[in-house]
Structure 1
Amino acid sequence: MPADSVQEVFLNPGDFHFAGGHTRIRTLLGSCVSIALWHPERKLGGMCHFILPERGQPAAGQELDGRYATEAMGLFDRAIGRAGTRPQDYRAKIFGGGNMFPGRENHAGIQIGQRNIEVAHRLLAERKIAVVAEHLGGAGHRKLVFDIWSGDAWLVFREAGTNKN
């Protein structure tokens, strides 16, 4: 793919992008999770970058917020519907959910990364979307690249407390 024909999109925490064609989506993940969905026949898909599993009940008329897994999946639901496709025709790849502070005691007993991983699996299972690849958990951060035209994803994982990839 010639580099000048690729649309580059960078997702910050809470961002969502769904497209077709020559689109490449990038992001950086710690305890956050990204779900990349791809439709193999239509060569379209997207990616979200959520921070937390859910925010509770949004107020009436409030927009979906991609910072929360349940609402990021709602954004996918809308995009899939607009594309005239079905959720179960997509393939999912899930990344992230790392422990960014290994060795630190978590006094609240809450492991955000692990909760994000669990909710991602649950939301995809509810929609009967097959998970074909994942790189989850661990202690560190990830650089992720997803090419919509091919469905390929590349990942660089940097373990916390080391200089190795």
Structure 2
Amino acid sequence: MTPEQKQIRAKEAKIGRHAARLTEQYLHSNINRLFDVKNKGGVFQGREVEPMLRATRVRSKIGDFLLLGLDATSNKYAFIHHYGFSGKRDGGTVYLDHQRFSKDITQRNTHVLNVNQKSIFHDIYKSSGALDYLVTELTKTRTESFNEKFKDVIDNISKDEQ
């Protein structure tokens, strides 16, 4: 890898990190907005959303020379809320491991569960502005990369014509 290619890869990695940060901030604000966390007050403000926010991450994926894309990950609860669910939830044993509970385990009965679709991950790259940012910045680095790859070929062709 030439020093120029290393510089281009470093630029693309920086672009990917910035786009991932934009998307992740948008996702977190989207989750907070959809679950109406703000202005609730009380002891349980946002506690049901905290695990979802901790698990929701966007990372850039870098190949040998170029940015390959962005990976959005989260826990299963976020995807259940994104797609929605309507059906029976199986019963089973629930383990209670907090000191406020008098028992360590309890049984949950089978019951109907209806979770409305919230579209948490719908158009996250476009809505966050990451898509526009990637288009403008990657055109610059990809042009540099193209010029670097074919510089030797163009030099050889021009020498042969002389």
Question: Normalised by the size of structure 2, how large is the TM-score?
Answer: 0.26
Larger helix fraction of residues: 2
